[in-house]
Amino acid sequence: MKRFILSFIAVVFIQMFCIANNAIYTDSTKIEYQVHGNDTLVIEKLNRLYACGLKQYINNSRVNYNNADYDVIHEEKNEYLKHNSSAIIQDILAGYEKEQCKEMLKVLSNEEDNIVCYIRLRINLKGEITCVEFMYIPSLTPFMTYEDIKRNTEIIIKRKPYPFLVEYGIEISPWIIFSITSKILQRYLEKRVDFKYDGETVRFDVRLDTTVIAYIKEQYEDSIKLDGKCGTPEYDTVVNKYLQDKDVVVAVDSVQKIALHHFKRVPFVEGKEICVRLDINETGEVIRCNFVFPSEYSDGVWPEHILELTKQIKENINFTPPGKCGRNTISIDIPVNGLPYK
């Protein structure tokens, strides 16, 4: 009996010690539990991802559909995402703040996957979020600490109720899944500044505080879409062939000379160019101009430069119709290097 009492006291002491020190213990090779005060963080190691959440907000019970049509519930889930996912993502990224978001993006630049994390939710009959879980690649573990998971979870469960299950009598929804991607992260980090100039809007998109894309906003109000997907090997092959056309070579040279004239105040640095990105339609007419440059050149690139340069290119320079290369439209990048204007 004495031995039993001593053993019992020892077990209780060890448990109290673990709780006091935010202990980590494991009940299998795949699931890890971290105790933090009154919270238990559950981390499950899957094939390529970690699944993580606070124990009190994880519920994998089966859904009782009560004879409701599965496809109808699936559509209701899509409607929920349409009205709520963007706001949830914005609130979560705001919780991380921009410096940490930049660090996440750096990590993702070395990964094949462009997903920051998947967010899984379940909603009860009242429309309240009662289950939350995050799934992420191992390299993003530094951004999924207990403090991060707790903050993100609290942001999510405080959302205004959205009771879409009431008419179906379903007590708890299936898991609702959406993701935060690197593209969403980039957009969150963008700064957008508009200048009204001669009735047009010259927009400067600042990305990651390092790159600026300048363009006239109104030129994107048409419905013209590019033919093909930029950046694919097939598309790049077509663009390279197009750029070898002798008339295109002449047009590119003209664009470079005009651009250098307008950007003569830019303090060019070796190896850092301004890229003039042109979208060209089926007749060889330039329909859109973008100017991509390092943020350190901003003092030398003015709204009136963008406006005047865009007008000159569109009105005075024609390209070979891209149909010659089997395309209805094409997008090309023209580098403007740091040679002094003469």
1 in any annotated domain:
no
State whether 42 and 81 are in the same domain: yes
Q: Which of 159, 187, 215 is the last residue of a domain?
A: 187
State whether 320 and 231 are in the same domain: yes
Q: So what's the pLDDT on residue 327?
A: 86
Q: Which of 170, 187, 204 is the last residue of a domain?
A: 187
d(CA 171, CA 165): 8
d(CA 86, CA 81): 8
Q: So what's the pLDDT on residue 109?
A: 82
Q: So what's the pLDDT on residue 24?
A: 40
φ, ψ (nearest 5 deg) of residue 95: -65, -35
2 in any annotated domain:
no
State whether 97 and 246 are in the same domain: no
State whether 26 and 170 are in the same domain: yes
State whether 97 and 133 are in the same domain: yes
35 in any annotated domain:
yes
Residue the block writes with tokens 């030398």: 300
Enter the pTM of the model: 0.59
158 in any annotated domain:
yes
Pairing of strands 50-54, 39-45: antiparallel
State whether 24 and 161 are in the same domain: yes
Q: So what's the pLDDT on residue 115?
A: 85
202 in any annotated domain:
yes
Measured between its terminal Cα atoms, the distance across the chain in Å is 99
236 in any annotated domain:
yes
State whether 214 and 303 are in the same domain: yes
9 in any annotated domain:
no
State whether 24 and 152 are in the same domain: yes
Q: So what's the pLDDT on residue 21?
A: 38
pLDDT, one tens digit for every residue, the chain (342 residues): 445 444 544 444 434 434 333 444 444 458 999 999 999 999 999 888 999 999 999 999 998 888 888 888 889 998 898 889 989 999 999 999 888 998 998 888 888 778 889 999 999 999 999 999 999 999 999 999 999 999 999 999 999 999 988 888 899 999 999 999 888 888 888 888 899 888 899 999 888 778 899 999 998 876 666 666 666 788 889 999 999 999 999 999 999 999 998 998 888 888 889 999 999 999 999 999 999 999 889 888 999 999 999 999 999 999 999 988 888 899 999 999 865 444
Structural domain range at position 180: 18-187
Q: So what's the pLDDT on residue 245?
A: 94
Domain count along the chain: 2
Q: So what's the pLDDT on residue 228?
A: 61
How far is the CA of 132 from the CAs of 129, 155, 225, in angstroms?
Answer: 8, 11, 39
State whether 274 and 301 are in the same domain: yes
Q: Which of 172, 187, 202 is the last residue of a domain?
A: 187
State whether 224 and 140 are in the same domain: no
Tokens representing 331 are 């997008």
State whether 258 and 326 are in the same domain: yes
The alpha-helical segments, DSSP class H, found in the chain are 2-20, 70-108, 146-157, 182-189, 233-243, 246-262, 303-316
5 in any annotated domain:
no
Interhelix angle 182-189/70-108, nearest 10 degrees:
60
Q: So what's the pLDDT on residue 19?
A: 39
Tokens representing 56 are 């009190």
State whether 175 and 204 are in the same domain: no
